[in-house]
Each structure stands twice: as C-alpha cells, then as structure tokens.
Amino acid sequence: MSGVKCISTTTATEKIFAELKKIKPDDTSFSLMLALVVKEYVENKTKKSLKLTDFDSGFPDMLGDIEIWKSLIEKIPVEEFKKLQRRHTQLGNLINKRVLKCL
C-alpha cells in the first residue's frame, strides 16, 4: 500500500532538498531517499551511546529534546563531560551577567 505525504518548503529547506537531489542516486526516488535520510537521522538521534561527535555542532540543539540532553549527559565519556561542564559554567556566568543588567 502506498500513500501521499505533503510537506511545506521554505527557501532554506529548498536549498537542503537541492543538496539531497545532487547526491541521490539516479535509480532512487526522491521519496525513498528522503525516507532513508529520515531513517538515518532517527537512528543517530536514538543511539544508546550518544557522543558529542554525533551532533554537527558537537552538541544537541540548545532548545532540543531534553531527553537527548539527558542521555548525552549520562553517557558521554568523562573527558567530553568535563568539556560540557566547563561550557555550562561559562554560559551560566554569561546568563548571570545578563540577569544583573536586566534588574
């Protein structure tokens, strides 16, 4: 059984889809390629053992799913955890400075 899925696009997403079309094999439909990309994304985001290198920036999206952050914090190697902890402290200091300016 097959169905139809419709998606909306923006200028930004059109650029991403254009990049996908460039690497898509000729004998693979755009729908199948998109499904394969989604499958890879889901598999990477639900790994049991997350590492900082699993994310393009080295970290999950700042406002992303808290469960991903929780899994990362619980499972990353000690050295990577120390890096995260240092950055957390730096961000806390910046936020505290901003709070003082807002008061």
Buried b (16+ CB within 10 A) or exposed e, 42-58: eeebeeeebebebbeee
Band (pLDDT 50/70/90 cuts) for residue 98 is very high
Domain locations along the chain: 11-77
Residues 6+ apart with CB under 8 A from 5: 31
- DSSP structural state of residue 26: T
**Is-contact 102 93, C-beta < 8 A?**
no
pTM of the model: 0.43
Question: pLDDT tens across 37-67, in order?
Answer: 888 877 766 655 555 555 555 666 677 778 8
